[in-house]
Structure 1
């Protein structure tokens, strides 16, 4: 693997690893959002999603099973983005902030699609 590809994957993975660890250490805000979206067993769902972010993020960072890791991370982004950043329900500054986070997640999703199509 090239140095550039290794660095790129590690940098892409870093946000997933950090957020996954944050959500495992302080799950309540995420559980509240999942509960509000009527996700069954929100505590378990948050733990699973956070574990996927950490585990698949680590695999991607190390270049191990990058297609599987990228696919798992992309799949975890769908509920995270829709539930966590519902800008369509907000107004004013909060709408702008949520829309920015939503679009950032779409960019990450695009990067993951790109990564999973490589090699």
Structure 2
């Protein structure tokens, strides 16, 4: 494995690991958003999603099962993006901020999808 690939995977994984840990430590705002989106069992859903982010993120960073890890992260990122950044329901500055976060997540999704076809 090249050093560049290792660094790239580690950098990509870092946002998932950090976010997952943050959500495990402070789940309340994420649970509220999940509840508002009528996600069944929102507390459990947040814990599972956070666990996937930390676990699959760590595996991706280490280069262990990178395709499976990237696929798991991609699958968890889709509902996270739609529920967490509904820019279409916002106005003004908040709409712009949420749209930026939504597009950032789409870019992350693109990188993860790219990895699922590699190695």
TM-score of the aligned structures, taking structure 1 as reference length: 0.99
Q: Deviations over 1:35-78 (max 9, x none)?
A: 00000000000000000000000000000000000000000001
Could you tell me which runs of 5 or more consecutive residues in structure 2 were left unpaired when the two chains were aligned. Answer: none
What is the match of residue 118 of structure 1? 118
1:93 aligns with 2:93: yes
Post-superposition offset of 1:115: 1.1
- Aligned-partner Cα distance in 1 for 2:118–2:35: 37
What is the match of residue 83 of structure 2? 83
What is the match of residue 37 of structure 1? 37
Q: Find the residue that maps to 2:55 and give its secondary structure.
A: helix
Equivalenced residue count is: 119
- Aligned-partner Cα distance in 2 for 1:116–1:19: 21
Post-superposition offset of 1:28: 0.2
Could you tell me which runs of 5 or more consecutive residues in structure 1 were left unpaired when the two chains were aligned. Answer: none
- Aligned-partner Cα distance in 1 for 2:118–2:56: 17
- Aligned-partner Cα distance in 2 for 1:21–1:116: 24
1:21 aligns with 2:21: yes
Post-superposition offset of 1:116: 1.3
Q: Find the residue that maps to 1:35 and give its secondary structure.
A: helix
